[in-house]
């Protein structure tokens, strides 16, 4: 039912600026100006005519904000590519620009995925946030396990920055130059860089990045710095000091890997205090994870929390925008990194927008049109539980008030080789991918306003996309 929600905005035809530069800020301003006149027209139009889907990027642009997503370069085709291109105006390579990805062995470079993402972004009039140059994680073994003098380490770091930033000079809008420099208590994290070069590695890295691309906005990025706390205060003191010393620093990135129910109450206040230093603030890696399986109640809460995060950014003019760390649950790092947790992004694993998507729409000033009350009878498919080779599925056949059935047959096509082994409360047959399930002798009747459910066990491998069920 969620999937039939429609979004609209009192604005925003898709415009296609023909030049990529000047900066997105200028482009957004131009779009915004163009939008005002159209907005007046649309407000007066009947609701039905204004109820076309409005991509998130148009809603965000009308507010002068970026909306980004982390992406995997190899997936930028098909539905994944369509959504990434349609809904977002910023991209961050999820892994493709990390040191281990671009220089797996010393002096051997692989820019394939990074180039692919930058090319895709330019073709879709998107900005790119480079991620990330100096970090303690996802470094190549040759670097992480090497023995380096401070002078060698500094040379490695500044050469890496000069090479990577230089490669994309003029094409990237921003760089996460230094990633995750702090411990939770606000002390500096003991890393390859800190241990070898001291805290000054941060200033050295920023200076090298500025030299390599003077137009790119330079950021320090960290997690658990969304609210006012010891770690964010350490970041605050660092960037204040860097600015005072004339070190090039344009903004802070608040990653925002959040847990359902734990969005910090001081999020907006914290954004504001960085903005008051004269810095840009970007929410760079938003996801809101929950214990799986997701339930309607958890997804509804997640919608409220996505809305709150976006509203906090909208409320502060120097908050440049929000990037989600993967837009679909099928491309999220959460299940691998936090076993038992997931469902953290705005789209489900089948690329259907979740309630969280509509929370973003609301925060960005769009309107969500609730679907008309259901009529007729329909079937809803869900996976109840899933293990490494099998899953239990369920289909619920519901009839709206005024409709009923005396017998039924539900059919669908399994798109990824799933095979039913056993069914209950229905008689199911499967011929290759085609599944057909008819009512049992005792449950053919579905009354007005009532429902009937049947279930099955099936095998799967690789992926387990949900099919669309047709009722006959």
Interface residues with ligand XIL (CB under 6 A) are 94-95, 179, 255, 285, 333
Q: Are 393 and 382 in contact (CB under 8 A)?
A: yes
SS3 386: strand
State yes or no: is 305 an active-site residue: no
Cβ atoms of 306 and 347 within 8 Å: the answer is no
Catalytic residue among 103, 113, 164, 180: 180
Which of 366, 369, 363 has the alpha carbon at shortest distance from 11? 366
CB 197, CB 150: distance < 8 Å: yes
Residue closer to ligand XIL by CB (options 10, 257) is: 257
DSSP 130-149: EEEEE-SSS--HHHHT----
Comparing CB distances to ligand XIL, the nearer of 96 and 410 is 96
CA angle centred on 98, ends 97 and 104, rounded to 5°: 105
- From the CA atom positions of the chain, what is the Rg in Å? 25
- How far, in Å, are 181, 184, 187, 188, 271 from residue 232 at the CA level? 11, 9, 11, 12, 10
- Of the pair 132, 464, the CB lying nearest ligand XIL is at 132
Beta bridge partners of 369: 6
CA distance 364 to 239: 29
* Gap between the Cα atoms of 455 and 466, Å rounded: 14
Task: Work out how close the CB of 94 gets to ligand XIL at its nearest, in angstroms, rounded to a whole number.
Answer: 5
User: Is 180 known to be catalytic?
Assistant: yes
Q: Which residue is nearest to ligand XIL (CB)?
A: 333
Give the shortest CB-272-to-ligand XIL separation in angstroms.
23
Positive or negative, the CA dihedral 273, 279, 280, 285 is negative
Complex with ligand XIL: residue 347 or 454, whichever CB lies closer = 347
Q: How far is the CB of 469 from ligand XIL (least distance, A)?
A: 33
Q: Where in the sequence numbering do the catalytic residues fall? A: 180, 285
């Amino acid at each position: 039912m969620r999937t039939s929600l429609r979004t609209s905005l009192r604005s925003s035809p898709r415009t296609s600026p023909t030049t990529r530069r000047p900066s997105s800020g200028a482009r957004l301003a131009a779009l915004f100006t163009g939008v005002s006149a159209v907005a007046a027209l649309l407000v007066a139009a009947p609701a039905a005519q204004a109820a076309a889907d409005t991509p998130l990027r148009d809603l965000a642009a009308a507010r002068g904000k970026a909306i980004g997503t982390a992406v995997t370069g190899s997936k930028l085709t098909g539905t994944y590519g369509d959504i990434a291109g349609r809904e977002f105006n910023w991209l961050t390579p999820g892994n493709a620009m990390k040191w281990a990805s671009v220089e797996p062995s010393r002096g051997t470079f692989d820019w394939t995925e990074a180039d692919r993402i930058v090319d895709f972004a330019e073709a879709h009039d998107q900005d790119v946030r480079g991620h990330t140059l100096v970090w303690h994680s996802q470094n190549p073994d040759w670097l992480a396990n090497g023995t380096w003098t401070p002078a060698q380490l500094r040379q490695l770091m500044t050469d890496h920055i000069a090479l990577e930033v230089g490669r994309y000079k003029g094409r990237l809008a921003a760089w996460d130059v230094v990633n995750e420099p702090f411990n939770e208590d606000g002390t500096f994290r003991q890393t390859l860089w800190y241990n070898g070069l001291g805290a000054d590695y941060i200033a050295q890295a920023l200076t090298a990045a500025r030299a390599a691309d003077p137009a790119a906005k330079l950021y320090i990025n960290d997690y658990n710095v969304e609210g006012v706390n010891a770690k964010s205060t350490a970041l605050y003191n660092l960037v204040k000091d860097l600015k005072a010393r004339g070190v090039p620093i344009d903004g802070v990135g608040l990653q925002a890997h959040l847990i359902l129910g734990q969005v910090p109450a001081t999020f907006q206040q914290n954004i504001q205090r960085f903005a008051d230093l004269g810095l840009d603030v970007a929410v760079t890696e938003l996801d809101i994870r929950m214990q799986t399986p997701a339930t309607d109640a958890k997804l509804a809460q997640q919608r409220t929390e996505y809305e709150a995060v976006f509203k906090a950014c909208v409320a502060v003019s120097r908050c440049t925008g929000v990037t989600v760390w993967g837009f679909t649950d099928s491309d999220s790092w959460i299940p691998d990194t936090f076993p038992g947790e997931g469902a953290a992004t705005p789209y489900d694993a089948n690329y259907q927008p979740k309630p969280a998507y509509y929370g973003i729409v609301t925060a960005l000033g769009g309107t969500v049109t609730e679907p008309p009350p259901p009529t007729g009878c329909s079937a809803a498919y869900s996976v109840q539980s899933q293990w490494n080779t099998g899953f239990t599925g369920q289909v619920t056949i519901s009839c709206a008030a005024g409709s009923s059935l005396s017998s039924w047959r539900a059919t669908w096509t399994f798109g990824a080789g799933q095979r039913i082994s056993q069914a209950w409360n229905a008689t199911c047959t499967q011929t290759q991918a085609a599944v057909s399930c008819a009512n049992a002798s005792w449950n053919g009747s579905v009354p007005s306003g009532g429902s009937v459910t049947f279930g099955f066990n099936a095998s799967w491998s690789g992926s387990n996309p949900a099919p669309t069920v047709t009722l006959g």
